[in-house]
Structure 1
Amino acid sequence: MLLQIDLQKEEPIYMQIVHQIIEGIAKNELKPGDDLPSVRSLGADIGINFHTVNKAYQILKQEGFILIHRQKGVVIHPDAAYLANAAYVEKLKRDIRPIIAEAAARNLPIREMEKLVETLYNEMKGE
């Protein structure tokens, strides 16, 4: 999986890394047990400070998507595709609330929003 970092994007680089790795897991491009580059290696490969990569990896570790071993390095968590629990659903509600609010403020019909969500979800799942 090749990360596409956009230095001109408003989204911080570390979050671009986080989102792209999660998307790789969702699309089954990254499978449980797959190795990821070390912090220093990934930083060098994409030309960014290794502290930025470390911040992304720490978020992914905290969210349960990766494991960081001193000897084995960084790997996709064996249970990375765990089921959504109540806490995750609450987090999801908080995260998408501003997006839904903007869509409603712009009078985007709910059916259009539903189609958009369904299309993107199916794209992630390869359907």
Structure 2
Amino acid sequence: MLIRIEPESDTPIYAQISNQIIEGIARGFIQPGESLPSVRAFAADLGVNMHTVNKSYHQLEQKGIIRIVPKSGAIISSPHDFTEVSYNRLKDDYKPLIAESLVLGLSKKQIQELVTALIKDIKEE
């Protein structure tokens, strides 16, 4: 999996890393149970500060995407680890985006088609 950092982006680098790891998992490039590189090695590979990668890993851990195991590193969680807390967090994250879509004039059908197209893009590439 290749992580691309866009320094000029409005999205913070730690969030870019987190988002691309999540997408890599969704696309099947990284499997549950696999380990991510150490913070030090990953930071060196990406040419970013170790604290940036550390922040990304901790964000992923808070979301339940990875588990940080002492002396073993960051390990991709199993989909079976999904909890009601995760469901509620996702619902809270989606709500403002859906509201914004409605305010911009998208219909319910257009929003559903957009979500379906995004899922198809992630799963079929």
Tell me which interval the TM-score lies in, with the shorter structure as reference length: 0.7 to 0.9
Structure 2: segments with no counterpart, 5+ residues: none
Task: Identify the range of structure 1 (37-46 vs 88-97) with the bigger mean alpha-carbon deviation.
Answer: 88-97
Aligned with 2:31: secondary structure?
A: coil
Q: Does 1:31 align with 2:36?
A: no
Change (3 A) 1:83 1:116: farther
Report how far residue 71 of structure 1 moved. Answer: 3.3
| TM-score normalised by the chain length of structure 2 | 0.86
Call closer, same or farther: CA 1:4–1:90 in 2, change over 3 Å.
same
One-letter amino acid matched to 2:85: A
How many Å separate the matches in 2 of 1:31 and 1:111?
33
Which residue of structure 1 lines up, in the alignment, with residue 19 of structure 2?
A: 19
Q: Which residue of 1 aligns with 2:55?
A: 55
- Aligned residue pairs, count: 125
Match of 1:109 among 98, 107, 110: 107
**What corresponds to 1:6 in structure 2?**
6
Which string of whole-angstrom CA distances, capped at 9 and with x for unpartnered residues, describes residues 55-97 of structure 1? Answer: 11112123222233443333323x2x23654322321221112
TM-score of the two chains, using structure 1 as the length reference: 0.85
Structure 1 residues 50, 97: closer, same or farther in 2, change over 3 A?
Answer: same
RMSD: 1.9
